[in-house]
Structure 1
């Protein structure tokens, strides 16, 4: 019998390690097969909540925020590309990529969760931004992505033109910050076990087996 597993995946649309983490997690769940019955819920986190509508060049942004040199940024991007390739995701980021505000994307993801299409939209947002160089703050692109995964485009446009779900997203962001989440991805299993960072597939497999064993009152050697 498979063990139910509730997974809160706290992440941002513009976070490359969140892509690596998600793809590793889904591969781990595929490997576990019938052992586990997982339900993934995406929780919002904004890396750059004050980012303006025009965005900012990625190299410039990382230099300002983390003090990285362009060479370090380039090295980091190459590492992310390699890790993405390992789990089947094509990163096409370069030094001319831009960082954008993602609040509206999080509002759409909240709505997609109510419609049962949250995973599909999250994946589409990751691909649009990291593989195709899209802008996750552009309302036209967001409405198009929503429609591409089976959501109602007109409804998406209505949400984007208003401040619908803004309150809910802000409350969820505050909740995870108050629980001590300060970096993403943070993957929380059954509300109590957290794994941080874009971990490899085997790390997730090991963690999930450990959690399932404890849930059943057993031990893992």
Structure 2
């Protein structure tokens, strides 16, 4: 009897995001659950691409409430409502948003480490660790000691991470990627690009990603 087992379709996914973007954490959790649902049909090579929501932010960051009120003109009540909506969405996906998050930080160095992790392997583990560190544990993801520890805990070389952070390593590569996506019309994140031509924007529900993955795979 011939083997009629279906061979999974391999898709490339570029996940453009920032590590201090709550909808990026939600979008990633949704995407990964969609990939779990389509296991056996789809195999994905996921690449995490840099996008800074606040590239001009100082190293010490800003109070999160003041920052969002200034950027979006939201009242304290609106901010609280948004945070609760995000917390509830995260909870349904198994991701914890801590109420202790008080500041927003510059993420350029975190993106440099993510670029390095993409070269070395272990990029997804580092991405998850950075999102948990910031959103669940309220840690400063611009602080070099914190970043070194997170890299080491993610299975990367802590010594090499410290060397990278003490230098300009991967800075040009990260800036080039950021400019590429800006020129491509990406203005907000997450932006999930499948096979370099299908764009899904925002922290969509699992079902949206699942349907898109199946449709794109069927078209292949």
Query: Per the shorter chain, which TM-score range?
Result: over 0.9
Q: Which residue of 2 aligns with 1:39?
A: 45
SS of 2:40 mapped into structure 1: helix
* Deviation for aligned residue 1:38: 0.4
2 CA distance for matches of 1:192 and 1:179?
11
2 CA distance for matches of 1:207 and 1:151?
33
2 CA distance for matches of 1:41 and 1:33?
18
* Deviation for aligned residue 1:213: 1.4
1:204 pairs with one of 181, 197, 209: 209
SS of 1:34 mapped into structure 2: coil
Q: Which residue of 2 aligns with 1:219?
A: none
Q: TM-score, normalization: structure 1?
A: 0.96
Q: Which residue of 1 aligns with 2:122?
A: 117
* Deviation for aligned residue 1:214: 1.5
The answer for unaligned runs of 5 or more in structure 2 is 1-6
2:170 pairs with one of 165, 170, 175: 165
Task: Provide, for residues 169-218 of structure 1, a one-character-per-residue CA deviation record: whole Å limited to 9, x for no partner.
Answer: 00000011111110000000000000000000000000111111122xxx
2:61 pairs with one of 34, 55, 58: 55
- Report the count of equivalent residues: 214
1:74 pairs with one of 49, 74, 80: 80
The root-mean-square deviation of aligned C-alpha atoms, in Å, is 0.7
Task: Provide, for residues 135-170 of structure 1, a one-character-per-residue CA deviation record: whole Å limited to 9, x for no partner.
Answer: 110000000000001101110000000010000000
Q: Which residue of 1 aligns with 2:3?
A: none
Q: Which residue of 2 aligns with 1:4?
A: 10
Q: Which residue of 2 aligns with 1:101?
A: 106
2 CA distance for matches of 1:181 and 1:214?
25
Task: Provide, for residues 120-144 of structure 1, a one-character-per-residue CA deviation record: whole Å limited to 9, x for no partner.
Answer: 0000000000000001100000000
2 CA distance for matches of 1:93 and 1:169?
31
1:214 pairs with one of 194, 201, 219: 219
1:26 pairs with one of 29, 32, 49: 32
1 CA distance for matches of 2:99 and 2:162?
28
1:112-151 equivalences under 5 Å are: 112-151=117-156
1 CA distance for matches of 2:40 and 2:180?
32
2 CA distance for matches of 1:25 and 1:105?
22
Q: Which residue of 2 aligns with 1:218?
A: none
* Deviation for aligned residue 1:97: 1.1
* Deviation for aligned residue 1:93: 3.3
Task: Provide, for residues 65-116 of structure 1, a one-character-per-residue CA deviation record: whole Å limited to 9, x for no partner.
Answer: 000111111100000000001110010035x610100000000000001111
Q: Which residue of 1 aligns with 2:90?
A: 84
